[in-house]
């Protein structure tokens, strides 16, 4: 069964606290109204950090949590303590409300506003080795100490963005402790093929983020070397079914893996007008309900 939910990201939420974002109460109400029963926590602090308060809010809206998110820079020296401090907060809260996964997103090598390179886009052999071995250790400790599974999320403007990077990362990490959050949008952003990744690495697909890329805007990204937030402002992550890849084909392929998975809808659109997310979320829910022959669990709009 593929259990499909949504996330704060689809409501324009990138930060724990930002007046440009949809308030958490409105997110809870609207994500349920769109038809979803499952969510991710989003950036730590956007939803209540107190587990009792969070559980009460979830129950009040009929929602459940699949995962929390941690941002990492494990290729850098002396990065472990800062990452683990995030884990102690995020993993504790995720476990307390019944989540099963931690999505690990690598830090970006470019400034999210100016586009300036903060470090080289290419890691040295030593940096790559540190990234992979420390991610293995992170996954091992999170599993043993919190009972949660690490799903690594490739990302635009990070050192694991292109399909070749994803494949190298999978080759150099331990499937007992680290698997792939297959984000269909971030794979397509750099011209990758989600279906090929599913076919070649079926045992490493541990979690899904469902999104599409506008191929014409993706061409602008390449031609102008756009920083990811500027690409988002131009609409590179578009409403299904208007982009690539074909999410029905992705769900069909994942449906053959013979195991339960979560698939979380994400449509990056920070910043966005407060009235924009809900109609898109409703239409996306309708599209996903009928685009695939795979066994899916999808709530009903209210």
The mean pLDDT of the chain is 96
Domain edges within the chain: 2-297
Q: Are 185 and 231 in contact (CB under 8 A)?
A: no
Q: Is beta strand 212-213 parallel, antiparallel or unpaired with respect to 205-210?
A: unpaired
- What are the tens digits of pLDDT across the range 62-110? 999 999 999 999 999 999 999 999 999 999 999 999 999 999 999 999 9
Q: How confident is the model at residue 13 (pLDDT cuts 50, 70, 90)?
A: very high
Our CA angle for 174, 209, 134, nearest 5°, is 30
Tell me, what's the pLDDT at 129?
98
- What are the tens digits of pLDDT across the range 133-147? 999 999 999 999 999
Whether the ω angle into residue 160 lies within 30 degrees of 0, i.e. cis, is: no
Q: Is beta strand 178-183 parallel, antiparallel or unpaired with respect to 149-153?
A: parallel
Q: Taking 90 as the threshold, does the pLDDT of residue 254 lie above it?
A: yes
**Residue that the structure tokens 């809900």 belong to:** 278
Q: How many CB atoms lie within 10 A of CB 234?
A: 15
Provide the sign of the torsion angle of the four alpha carbons 245, 3, 57, 50, taken in this order: negative
Q: Are 152 and 135 in contact (CB under 8 A)?
A: yes
| Beta-bridge partners for 110 | 117
Q: Taking 90 as the threshold, does the pLDDT of residue 12 lie above it?
A: yes
- What are the tens digits of pLDDT across the range 172-229? 999 999 999 999 999 999 999 999 999 999 999 999 999 999 999 999 999 999 999 9
Strands (E), the chain: 2-6, 38-40, 64-72, 101-106, 149-153, 178-183, 205-210, 212-213, 237-238, 261-265, 296-297
Q: Are 176 and 203 in contact (CB under 8 A)?
A: no
- What are the tens digits of pLDDT across the range 43-68? 999 999 999 999 999 999 999 999 99
Tell me, what's the pLDDT at 162?
97
What is the pTM (predicted TM-score) of this model? 0.96
Q: Which two tokens stand for residue 133?
A: 């071995």
In the DSSP assignment, the letter for residue 15 is S
CATH 3.20.20.150 correct for 2-297: yes
What is each CA distance from 39 to 7, 107, 198, 203, 270, in whole angstroms? 5, 23, 23, 24, 18
Tell me, what's the pLDDT at 116?
85
Strands (E), 29-100: 38-40, 64-72
């Amino acid at each position: 069964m593929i259990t499909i939910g949504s996330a704060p990201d689809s409501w324009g939420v990138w930060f724990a606290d930002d007046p440009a974002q949809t308030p958490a109460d409105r997110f809870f109400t609207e994500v349920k109204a769109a038809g979803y029963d499952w969510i991710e926590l989003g950036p730590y602090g956007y939803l209540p950090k107190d587990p009792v308060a969070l559980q009460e809010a979830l129950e009040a809206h009929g929602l459940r949590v699949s995962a929390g998110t941690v941002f990492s820079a494990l290729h850098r020296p002396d990065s472990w303590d800062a990452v683990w401090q995030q884990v102690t907060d995020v993993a504790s809260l995720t476990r307390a409300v019944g989540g099963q996964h931690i999505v690990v997103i690598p830090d970006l090598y470019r400034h999210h506003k100016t586009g300036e390179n903060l470090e080289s886009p290419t890691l040295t052999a030593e940096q790559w080795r540190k990234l992979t071995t420390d991610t293995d250790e992170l996954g091992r400790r999170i599993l043993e100490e919190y009972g949660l599974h690490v799903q690594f999320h490739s990302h635009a403007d990070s050192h694991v963005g292109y399909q070749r990077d994803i494949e190298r990362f999978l080759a150099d990490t331990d499937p007992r402790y680290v698997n792939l959050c297959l984000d269909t949008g971030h794979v397509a952003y750099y011209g990758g093929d989600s279906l090929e990744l599913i076919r070649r690495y079926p045992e490493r697909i541990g979690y899904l983020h469902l999104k599409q890329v506008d191929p014409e805007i993706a061409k602008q990204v390449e031609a102008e070397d756009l920083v990811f937030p500027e690409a988002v402002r131009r609409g590179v992550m578009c409403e299904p079914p208007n982009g690539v890849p074909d999410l029905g084909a992705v769900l069909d392929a994942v449906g053959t893996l013979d195991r339960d998975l979560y698939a979380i809808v994400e449509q990056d659109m920070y910043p966005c007008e407060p009235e924009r997310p809900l109609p898109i979320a409703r239409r996306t829910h309708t599209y996903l309900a009928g685009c695939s022959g795979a066994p899916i669990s999808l709530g009903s709009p209210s």
